[in-house]
Amino acid sequence: MEFEILARCPTTKARVSRMKLAHGVTALPTFMPVATQAAIKGLTAQQVEALGINLILNNTYHLNLRPGMKILKEAGGAHRFQGWNHNLLTDSGGFQLVSLSKFTKITEEGALFSSPFDGELTMLTPEESMAIQHTIGADIIMQLDDVVSSLTTGPRVGEAMWRTIRWLDRCIEAHEQSGKTDVQNLFAIVQGGLDPDLRDQCLEEMIKRRDRVAGYAIGGLSGGEEKDVFWRVIKQCADKLPDDRPRYSMGIGFAEDLLVCVALGVDMADCVFPTRTARFGVALTFNGPMNLRSAKYASDFKPITEGCPCPTCSDGTTRAMLHHIVALETAAAHALTQHNLVFQARVMGGARDAIMAGTFPQYLKTFFANYFGDDGYPEWCVNALRSVGVDLLEDRPNVKIIPGQGVKWDRAEP
């Protein structure tokens, strides 16, 4: 991997960088769409490529179950299997320790999964996770981590953090012995729950191994924790992680979360949110989400967003047409998935342009003003951005402040 910082925001911790991997160059910060089972649901690889996306994420646990490593080996890896010639990241399967916890038992050796399809037991060890990811052939591979829900408290959090460090060492050994370090890049994952001390200890240990990992991820978040705690953990990690390594915040997808994370120094993020919400009929816009199931769009002949370059808007697909087919025809899921991925790319591309131009603070202010309008700003966003020198209220002192998550929704009416 070649990692080069091209510009820094003079106010915040945001930066623009260039990450060169075996399948091309990706500009950071970026959002990575999730292709859990080797496909962005609803789009062909050619369509994803046409949207300008060049880094997507596959899921090791799911690919190992189906189609399985035998088939992936026959195909020559996940790139060829899914017809994707650009960069690919695989997570390690650690997240499934939480999302599929009823099928899982953790030991020091690894995680024992019971297949949800046939009940067959599979032991996913750090070495096995590496072997699977080597077969998949992703450009960025993640260490197996012991993930606990971010709502977990008590000794289990510390136990998982220390086990994650021990598993990182086993992953590094397995990866270095594979002979694939020149084409596949191992990222460590910082754990430690919501406890600042545990996070510090984890950071310290992982930074000691900086010469043997290509980048770092911040894991164990986005699991329902308070947003005011979330951003403080991100900031704590981003501040301490090495400057010359990419930083990846796992499971972040809301536009406001992405921009706060970028301001705190994060380079990469992934989430199923934009594609999943598309399948539920929600289009993302710079003025907030648009729930196309709502009757108010039934005879609205405007596109989702005027001037949006996505295939759906540029073709003139109207909100009325989308309302007519949403949740009833898969073509609606295709159209909204295309739009939402372009929206995510525009949010991050706009951030990159603004950082390069030295106008990122203004970009943030404009985004929040448009996105939340008079509904009010989430308090945690205001606090987080103040911590890096951006006062969202500077030009709008009377805007409402919303405590808690402050997520904006467009609720469907009958």
Pick out the residues of the known binding site for Zn(2+): 308, 310, 313, 339
Contact pattern from residue 301 through residue 320 relative to other proteins, giving x for each residue in contact according to CB under 8 A and a dash for the rest: x---------xx--xxxx-x
- Give the shortest CB-341-to-other proteins separation in angstroms: 12
How far is residue 103's CA from residue 115's CA, in Å, rounded to a whole number? Answer: 7
d(CA 362, CA 123): 50
State yes or no: residue 85 binds other proteins (CB under 8 A).
Answer: no
Q: Is residue 47 close enough to count as binding other proteins by CB under 8 A?
A: yes
Give yes or no for a contact between 140 and 185, defined as CB atoms under 8 angstroms apart.
Answer: yes
Catalytic residues: 91, 270
Closest approach, Cβ 180 to other proteins, in A, equals 22
CA-closest candidate to residue 52, choices 74, 15, 71, 26: 26
Shortest gap between Cβ of 185 and other proteins (angstroms)? 25
Strands 268-271 and 30-33: parallel
Segment interacting with other proteins, rule: CB under 8 A, options 20-28, 107-115, 254-262, 294-302: 294-302
Other Cβ atoms within 10 Å of 315 Cβ, number: 10
Q: Is 249:268 a contact under the CB 8 Å cutoff?
A: yes
C-alpha Rg value of the chain to the nearest Å: 21
Instruction: Give the distance between the most distant pair of CA atoms in the chain.
Output: 61
Assess 50 for contact with other proteins (CB under 8 A). Answer: yes
Burial label, 284 (beta-carbon count in 10 A; 0-12, 13-18, 19+): buried
Q: Which stretch binds other proteins (CB under 8 A): 81-89, 164-172, 230-238, 241-249?
A: 81-89
Q: Quick one: 99 or 299, whose CB is closer to other proteins?
A: 299
Query: Of 27 and 320, which CB lies nearer to other proteins in the complex structure?
Result: 320
Question: Quick one: which of 299, 357, 386, 400 contacts other proteins (CB under 8 A)?
Answer: 299
When binding is defined by CB under 8 A, the residue of 6, 298, 357, 407 that contacts other proteins is 298
* Closest to 287 measured CA to CA, from 410, 377, 372: 372
- 55: Cα separation from own chain's centroid: 11
Question: Which residues here bind other proteins, judged by CB under 8 A?
Answer: 37-39, 41-42, 44, 47, 50, 66-67, 71, 74-76, 80-83, 279, 298-299, 301, 311-312, 315-318, 320-321, 324-325, 328-335, 338
